[in-house]
Amino acid sequence: MESKNTVSSSAFILIAAAGCLLLGFTLGRNTGEITPISIEEASEIFGLSFTPAEKDSMLGSLENQRNRYEALREVKLDNSVAPSLVFNPLPKGFQPEQTQRPLDWGLATEMPLPEKESDIAYMPVHELAVLIKSKKISSERLTKIYLDRIKTYSDTLQCLISLLEDSALEKAKAMDAELAAGKYRGPLHGIPYGIKDLLAVKGTKTTWGAMPYKDQEIDMTATVVNKLNDAGGVLVGKFTLGALAMGDVWYGGVTKNPWNLEQGSSGSSAGSASAVSAGLVPFAIGTETLGSIVSPSTRNGVTGLRPTYGRVSKNGAMALSWSMDKIGPISRSALDDGIVLSIINGEDEMDASTIKAAFNFSSKTDVKKLKIGYFEGFFEGEGSGSQNNRDVLDLLKNQGFELHPVELKTSVNPRAIQIMLSVEGAAAFDELTRLGWDDQLVAQHKNAWPNTFRAARFIPAVEYLQAARQRTILIEEMHQIMQDYDVIVTPSFGGAQLQITNLTGHPALCLPNGFSESGSPTSITLLANLFEEEKLVMLGDLIQKNSDWQAKRPPMFDK
């Protein structure tokens, strides 16, 4: 494997972006002479002070830099162009397992076919796969069940961008024909699914949930979609995301939570999670940069898996943060997520950030041999969902696990390092800010992307790189915490774990663990070492086989 730098994003783009406003002229055009006064005003923003002689000496250099910014902007950069510096989450001396062994999902040989179509719609992938393989249901019939549910409920949920009915039925019929001829592609053969609409599919719109791109067509298909299609999956729809991968507000409205239509679905994988929760698809693909799988999985009461950074190719996906974006499945069970991950896993020459790593899962592995830790401090108190979190610990103890208390403590501030996300997002959507397209986005509050991207222009390139250096420290410290355990259990939003693990690239499995007093779903999160998702699937599967939290259905859509 080629050597990869641990710093991410383009310093060149950042210098152009950060220096421009800092030196007192508007984005996109030179408005006047750089003076000692403008240097003084700009330097106050990032907490530096220079003597009159120092400011005078800088004038020529700063003018040259501004000219370079203008030269950089003469080159149009597509969102798909990644920086030449590639983030690598691997701690010193760590290498993931390379040898891929045969997968054993332990699937049943027989499965009864429910009479009611709603009961079929809510079956997990690992059961639907048995029905398909045994020919108790055809892919065509199964696909029609989900297409009908999408057409019935997607407007209510505001979760759909594009319905791909014709191509889905064509693919389903082809999968049935292959099966009749004795060809079986595996557990996703003939299984319908959906994707978050930041993944390109040739011949469809890829809107990124944002008004400036609502008619955009990208002439390619994302690697993960190609892999799912090759495995026999039947793509039925492209689901909503919060605009440019934030929240649940998109250009067409607010995606709804099936458990409470007065509440949004949370984001940014809003449509994917809402659709799975309402039985519109058995699984969908989401993405996470800083909680966009975990948060909607929690809100909608479904099971989401955020893979290790670098395990799944981002080729064909909208870039928000090159060093933090991750693609993963949202489904009804941990086992389903594992099945999907086994398909989309893999190094990709089209994505330099991918890392070769095996994904080895076997139902014959003794889950009871896992060493389990838990972030003890996050389970204290009586906040919303706290008892549900402790119930998971009790379940594990009753299954014979010894639980080891762990403290999550780091020497660096993850919130400070998070400026990297703001800078990379501002670079990815440079034109949105410079050309004023950001005014078209629905969300315009202080914490929405338009303001975040504008403010990011004031982050100096030096501070971005200092954050990247501290991120290296964070990676090593998190590795020291994780390496003594196979899985660590944590409340999904306990402390700073969500920020930390997204920055370090660690995998997480978010699964339902009950409901709050108000009736909203709650969740628990399992963390593992880098590239050890099979342990998350093993423990998540045990939890779900010994509880019924994931089996609950939103009453309004259980029809």
Residues 6+ apart with CB under 8 A from 166: none
Neighbouring C-beta atoms of residue 58, cutoff 10 Å:
17
- Look at residue 475 and give its three-state secondary structure: helix
| 363 catalytically annotated | no
Q: How many CA atoms lie within 13 A of 311 on its CB side?
A: 34
Identify whether the C-beta of residue 9 lies closer than 8 Å to the C-beta of residue 426: no
Identify whether the C-beta of residue 247 lies closer than 8 Å to the C-beta of residue 443: yes
Residue among 9, 268, 321, 342 flagged as catalytic? 268
Identify whether the C-beta of residue 521 lies closer than 8 Å to the C-beta of residue 512: yes
Sheet holding 487-491, edge to edge: 160-163, 234-239, 192-196, 283-288, 326-331, 303-306, 508-515, 521-528, 487-491, 372-375, 403-406
Burial level of 386, CB count in 10 A (0-12/13-18/19+)? middle
- Tokens coding 312: 């799944």
Q: Is the dihedral of CA 312, 317, 321, 327 positive or negative?
A: negative
- Give one DSSP letter per residue of 7-37, joined into a string: --S-HHHHHHHHHHHHTT--TTS--S---HH
- Look at residue 406 and give its three-state secondary structure: strand
Q: Is the dihedral of CA 460, 464, 469, 471 positive or negative?
A: positive
Residue among 10, 139, 292, 333 flagged as catalytic? 292
The shares of helix, strand and coil residues in the chain, as percent rounded to the nearest 5, are: 40, 15, 45
Residue among 196, 227, 238, 256 flagged as catalytic? 196
| 196 catalytically annotated | yes
| 292 catalytically annotated | yes
β partners of residue 509: 305, 526
Identify whether the C-beta of residue 100 lies closer than 8 Å to the C-beta of residue 358: yes
Cα–Cα distance for residue pair 363/17, rounded to 1 Å? 51
Q: What element of type H or E holds 283?
A: strand 283-288
Cα–Cα distance for residue pair 429/472, rounded to 1 Å? 26
Neighbouring C-beta atoms of residue 103, cutoff 10 Å:
16
Identify whether the C-beta of residue 304 lies closer than 8 Å to the C-beta of residue 273: yes
Tokens 């993960």, residue located: 224
Which long-range contacts link 70-77 to residues 24+ away (Cβ below 8 Å)?
Answer: 70/30, 72/12, 72/13, 72/16, 73/16, 73/28, 73/434, 76/431, 77/13, 77/430
Query: Known catalytic residues?
Result: 196, 268, 292
